[in-house]
Amino acid sequence: MASTYTSSLRFTKQGDGENPNTWGEVLNGVLDLVDNAVAGYVTVSVGSAATVGLTENQGSGDQSRSSMIHFTGSVGESHTSIFAIIPNVPKAYIVRSSVSTSTSSGTFMLRVTGNTGVTIPAGSHGVYFTDGTTIMTLNANGLGFTDIVNRDVGVCTTNVPDTSLADIRYAPNYDYVRASVSSTIIADKHFIGASASTPGGIIVGTNARAYNAITTLTDAASVVINFALGNNFLVTLAGNRTLEAPTNSTAGQTGEIYFIQDGTGSRTISFNEVYQFPGGSVPAATTAAGAVDILVYSARSDTVIDAVMLKDFKRS
């Protein structure tokens, strides 16, 4: 009986009575091919042709039997797309791509003849497998990795995988605090203790400080203030003014508002009725030129602001 070959990896299947004196040699050759199919590494250059067919031999060494394939070369010189063709039998491949593209539209693809195939990103390392018709990758939706398996996570921002803001597995750059660099936190963050006996807290340690910058208000007949912009505010009075009710007031917010007289002085400040003062007595501003008063406030609710005026800060 004549020898035949396995359907997927093309190993020799010796027939009865075949190779009576060289049977061992043939078997050793099969073991070499098995070794190559499990751990073989081959380099294939895409060259200048539109298609590159991986060699496919029955019972002897070839490129398509190797488990690991390293593609090299360039796309975009003679063709904007180059296809690497693999046999139409089930198999998995570990692929390393060093194929460069000389045009932005250049693509390098792995496919079975007559089928669509998949694009292999430049500089990628990936696992591809085929049922003999369709080529698939381990970044399938079922694994939830999208194309992360084709990317390197390194020190360069271009290596960091794209992530969705809705993906809880990853925090966007502006939503966490890194210890070694300045960071910005967007949106409310809540610190909660385990219980009343073990409360949580924010501790500012040695060689550190906590502060809120002073926001300068626009001077006008009606001084508008937005508590969402911060806690501390400053306005230089160039005329008689009214401090309007703040927008975006939140119960528990505290801070200071500086009133500074301009070089002329004699400017007055009145207050919207949401501002409440000790004993109900509305304070008057210091009117000397350049005088500085501070309104210390605490929001009892979004419509009631308790306040005290500290007046005439200066050195005698």
1-59 confidence digits (pLDDT tens): 688 888 888 888 888 878 788 878 888 888 888 998 899 999 998 877 888 999 999 88
Angle at 288 between CA 285 and CA 292, to 5 degrees: 60
Residue with token string 């969402």:
228
CA–CA distance from 173 to each of 155, 165, 235 (Å)?
Answer: 14, 10, 35
| pLDDT at res. 140 | 43
- For 146, the 3-state DSSP assignment is coil
pTM, two decimal places: 0.48
Task: Encode pLDDT of 70-90 as tens digits.
Answer: 999 888 767 778 888 999 999
Q: Where are the domains of the chain?
A: 4-150, 214-310
SS3 breakdown of the chain: % helix, strand, coil, rounded to 5? 10, 30, 60
The amino acid sitting at 293 is D
Select the more confidently predicted residue: 162 or 224.
224
Q: Regarding beta strands 90-97 and 125-131, do their DSSP bridges make them parallel or antiparallel, or are they unpaired? A: antiparallel
- How far apart CA 264 and CA 261 sit, in angstroms, is 7
| pLDDT at res. 178 | 61
pLDDT at 175 exceeding the cut of 80: no
Q: Regarding beta strands 81-86 and 51-53, do their DSSP bridges make them parallel or antiparallel, or are they unpaired? A: parallel
- How far apart CA 257 and CA 211 sit, in angstroms, is 15
| pLDDT at res. 179 | 61
Which of 30-34, 150-154, 183-187, 292-296 shows the lowest per-residue confidence on average (mean pLDDT)?
150-154
Mean pLDDT of the chain: 85
% of residues, the chain, pLDDT over 70: 84
Q: What sign for the dihedral angle of Cα 81, 85, 90, 92?
A: negative
pLDDT at 110 exceeding the cut of 70: yes
CA–CA distance from 220 to each of 41, 44, 229, 236, 295 (Å)?
Answer: 76, 74, 18, 10, 18
pLDDT-derived band at 198, boundaries 50, 70, 90? confident
- How far apart CA 244 and CA 221 sit, in angstroms, is 10
Select the more confidently predicted residue: 33 or 288.
288
| pLDDT at res. 251 | 96
Q: Are 281 and 275 in contact (CB under 8 A)?
A: no
- How far apart CA 234 and CA 259 sit, in angstroms, is 6
Which of 54-63, 177-186, 304-313 shows the lowest per-residue confidence on average (mean pLDDT)?
177-186
Check whether domain 214-310 has CATH 2.60.120, yes or no? yes
| pLDDT at res. 142 | 42
DSSP structural state of residue 213: P
Average pLDDT over residues 167-196: 67
Q: Beginning with the edge strand found earlier in the chain, give each strand of the sheet holding 232-237 in spatial order.
A: 214-216, 232-237, 254-261, 292-299, 305-310, 275-276
Which of 99-108, 172-181, 302-311 shows the lowest per-residue confidence on average (mean pLDDT)?
172-181
| pLDDT at res. 87 | 92
CA–CA distance from 142 to each of 138, 251, 280, 288 (Å)?
Answer: 9, 47, 67, 74
pLDDT at 141 exceeding the cut of 70: no
Task: Encode pLDDT of 250-282 as tens digits.
Answer: 999 999 999 999 999 999 999 999 999 999 999
- How far apart CA 179 and CA 301 sit, in angstroms, is 35
Average pLDDT over residues 209-234: 96
Phi and psi, residue 118, nearest 5°: -130, 150
The alpha-carbon radius of gyration of the chain (Å, integer) is 37
The beta strands (E) that lie in 6-146 are given as 12-13, 41-45, 51-53, 68-72, 74-75, 81-86, 90-97, 100-101, 107-112, 118-119, 125-131, 135-137
Which of 154-163, 195-204, 232-241 shows the lowest per-residue confidence on average (mean pLDDT)?
154-163
| pLDDT at res. 164 | 54
- Which of 54-58, 128-132, 150-154, 212-216 has the highest mean predicted lDDT (pLDDT)? 212-216
pLDDT at 65 exceeding the cut of 60: yes
pLDDT at 149 exceeding the cut of 70: no
Average pLDDT over residues 236-246: 98
Q: How many Cβ atoms are within 10 Å of 115's Cβ, its own excluded?
A: 14
| pLDDT at res. 243 | 98
% of residues, the chain, pLDDT over 90: 45
Residues 6+ apart with CB under 8 A from 169: 163
